[in-house]
């Protein structure tokens, strides 16, 4: 399996990730897929939070980002 999904909202996004994931994605493509998938899960899961936090680990260090709830690619603010 080339990826792992977990968390209370994960059952809502397996089909989306199976459809959109591809090998050798760029960092930007992978981050966009993560944001899309997590925002879809958040829209359906009452236990999920209101923001998305990402961390890309590289040899040079960690790159952290936060997407606030009003900037999510899918969900109440994006419908």
pLDDT tens, residue by residue, 12-57: 999 999 999 999 999 999 999 999 999 999 998 888 878 999 999 9
| Residues 13-21: contacts with CB under 8 Å, at least 24 apart | 13/37, 13/38, 13/40, 13/41, 16/40
Q: Which residues pair with 53 in a beta bridge?
A: 66
Rounded (5°) CA angle 42-46-48: 45
Q: Which residue has the tokens 């960092």?
A: 27
pLDDT of amino acid 76: 63
Q: What residues does 62 pair with on adjacent strands? A: 57
Q: Give the model's pLDDT for residue 1.
A: 81
DSSP 67: E
Average pLDDT in the 59-76 region? 91
């Amino acid at each position: 399996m080339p990826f792992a999904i977990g968390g209370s909202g994960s059952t809502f996004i397996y089909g989306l990730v199976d459809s959109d994931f591809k090998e050798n994605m760029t960092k930007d493509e992978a981050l966009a897929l993560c944001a899309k998938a997590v925002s879809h899960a958040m829209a359906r899961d009452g236990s999920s939070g209101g923001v998305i936090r990402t961390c890309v680990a590289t040899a040079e260090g960690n790159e952290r980002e936060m997407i606030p709830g009003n900037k999510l690619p899918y969900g109440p603010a994006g419908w």
